[in-house]
Amino acid sequence: MNSTHKAVEASARTTRTKFDGVLLTIRSRKSFFEVTQAIERSLQRFYVPKLMEYVTHGDRAGVEAYVDSTSKPFSIFWDMEQGSTMRLAGIPIESKFYLVGNAVIARGLFEYSGAAGLRAPVRVCVSQRDGKAVSVKHEVAQSVPDN
């Protein structure tokens, strides 16, 4: 049996847009544990598996209700504890990384531009080297229009 495959030729197009970035750092006298617990107590969790239940069943009203209920004012979309890995690598640091955002705002941004994924949700890193103050870092990016 012969089968013929038609090759679909696809070409990628690259666009470069310059943007400025600012790293905002907040230092705290509180412990790493106190800062991470404060973040986690004050922000609710946005569970992707829960969202996917609605998506799998084509339940738009469920998606809308879930997004609205977890977006007041912000929620944690994802977190990763990095300190234990860094310590195994010989770096004496506690570190936890968060993606924090508001799904309603992100949805609105994506309606205008796919580049919204660079800003929504935002990245926040809480870290503390042994004997040092806790640092909370957040990158702020601002687009620079092409001339």
Q: Which residues contact 134 (CB under 8 A, 6 or more apart)?
A: 27, 28, 29, 30, 31, 32, 35, 126, 127, 128
Residue with the bigger pLDDT between 125 and 23: it is: 125
pTM higher than 0.85 = no
pLDDT value of position 123: 83
In the chain, domain spans: 21-143
pLDDT value of position 109: 64
36-62 per-position pLDDT tens digit: 999 999 998 888 899 899 999 999 999
- The CATH fold assigned to 21-143 is TATA-Binding Protein (3.30.310)
> Mean of the pLDDT values across residues 23-43?
89
> Mean of the pLDDT values across residues 79-102?
90
pLDDT value of position 118: 58
Residue 145 has pLDDT above 70, yes or no: no
Residue 8 has pLDDT above 60, yes or no: no
Q: Which residues contact 101 (CB under 8 A, 6 or more apart)?
A: 46, 74, 75, 77, 120, 121, 122
Residue with the bigger pLDDT between 114 and 36: it is: 36
> Mean of the pLDDT values across residues 122-141?
82
pLDDT value of position 41: 92
pLDDT value of position 72: 79
